[in-house]
Amino acid sequence: MCNNAARLQCSRCSSQWYCGKKCQKEDWRIHKLLCSERQKFETRPSENVRRAIVFEEDEPTVKFIWVSVEHKDSSYSDGYEHACLEKYFGPGENGWSQVYYSNVRRSRSLREKIDLRHRELFLTDGSKPNKAVAATAGATTGEIWSGPLVALKYVDTGDFGMLSFYTDMDMRDFRDVVDYLLTYGHGKPEEEQQPPKALAPIIRGISALSLTLRGVRINCLGDTTKSGRKKFESVELSIDRQKDRLFIPPIPARVGILLELKKLPPPSSWKYDSYLLQNPSVTFLNLDIDPSSSRWGWAPMEWDDMIGSVVVVRTDGKDLFPQHVEALDYYCRYVLQPLFGDSMGAGMNPESKIGKEEVMYRMSPKCFELFYSGFIDYKHDTDSQWGAGVPYPDIVGSDAKVKGLRENFHKLNPFL
């Protein structure tokens, strides 16, 4: 439950330990859901099964299950184990995998990886809300989880050429899974990111639930290499805030440009290809900017892997241009990201670690407007027509005086 030395074992299931009675009592609401069930899954029925946890969409009770695994050969390693989950996801389907390595809510790393499987497009494919998740984690989950969920424990030796395999889920793993469901999408509940106060009037002023906006499509590696699309494309799209799942990236909000992201479904021919689904431009927009967070400078898992292409619009309904997004991408990737690294003593200048307050200062409306002015000059060195006819992005909280500081751009961005 906590990270203190464990001295007290659960007398019923004998598979969970606590530092004392207080922690055990706090964990009981979740622990009791599988405590007695755990005893029934002590003896493995065969060598090719692993103990897993299932949250079925139509039943309000979470369960232990045995999942069959098969050995698969690989041309570059000793192979790996494949979990057979067609019973839950349909013929030929084994669910969309989300692998995570830490419990953010309790600030600890996991001994093995948790592999959480769900339907790929559970938010839009008509899947029913998951009753077991609702009964277990309640209404405070960061996602509206729909369709079945299966949690497995995954062991990767980390050595090239070695076998990766599944092992049995246990009660401590169950606690980690529940914490993940509670925090996925917004980090620690008590430390949820909030847009700057200067943006509050814009958010309150949004009355239209459905509207057509001029935005930008940020294409993933698959769309740029397989389909020949540009990295940033201007698009006109309809947004329905009652149906579409939109996400506000923290860094643009911090610099005074409130954006909303929407993931696009990838083509079926490469929808499981993690390489082609890479979209680092989107990842860098979503770096965690909470100085107290254990994931400071890192993107949440949803925006770190298997992203695909996305569309982005301004929350205030104003036009967004590809040049604006390209500048934000460069700012996050080549200005802020090295500063995040330096603040953790692992960046380009580890010998001169800077404070997080310095990173936050560089992440402000004034600094971004100064950067944008210099970025135009930088782009014009190779393309004199870049941004022709494109207005400056409307930045909330910026100061017009900063436009006169273009000659000092190099002081802001030593990495350019």
Q: Quote the pTM value.
A: 0.54
Which amino acid is located at 267 in the chain?
P
Q: 10 Å Cβ neighbour count for 7? A: 9
Phi, psi of 98 (to 5 degrees): -120, 110
Tokens coding 224? 């740029």
> Please, which residues have CB within 8 angstroms of residue 415's CB and are 6 or more apart in sequence?
334, 335, 338, 348
For 275-340, the three-class secondary structure string (H helix, E strand, C coil) is CCCCCHHHHHHCCECCCCCCCECCCCHHHCCCCCCEEEEECCCCCCCHHHHHHHHHHHHHHHHHHH
Q: In the structure encoding, which two tokens stand for residue 222, read together?
A: 């698959």
One-letter identity of residue 32: K
Residue 142: what pLDDT?
45
Report the C-alpha gap between 367 and 358 in whole angstroms. Answer: 12
For the chain, which residues make up each domain, given as ranges? 36-184, 208-412
Per-residue pLDDT at 125: 75
Q: Give the 3-state secondary structure of residue 76.
A: coil
Virtual torsion, Cα 144, 147, 148, 150, nearest 10 deg: -50
Letter string b/e over residues 297-336, b meaning 16 or more CB atoms within 10 A of that residue's CB: bbbbbbbeebbbbbbbbbbbbebbbbbbbbbbbbbbbebb
Chain centroid, CA 143 distance in Å: 12
Q: In whole angstroms, what is the distance from residue 383 CA to residue 374 CA?
A: 14
Q: What is the pLDDT along the chain (416 residues), one digit of tens a residue?
A: 777 888 899 999 999 999 999 999 999 999 999 999 998 998 999 999 999 999 999 999 999 999 999 987 765 556 678 899 999 998 888 888 877 777 878 878 788 889 899 987 776 677 888 899 988 887 555 456 889 999 999 886 554 434 478 999 999 999 999 988 887 654 443 333 444 454 444 444 444 555 678 999 999 999 999 999 999 999 998 877 656 667 888 899 889 888 889 899 888 888 777 788 889 999 999 998 888 877 788 888 778 878 899 999 998 888 999 999 999 999 999 999 888 888 887 655 555 678 888 888 888 888 998 999 999 999 999 899 998 889 988 887 654 443 433 333 333 333 32
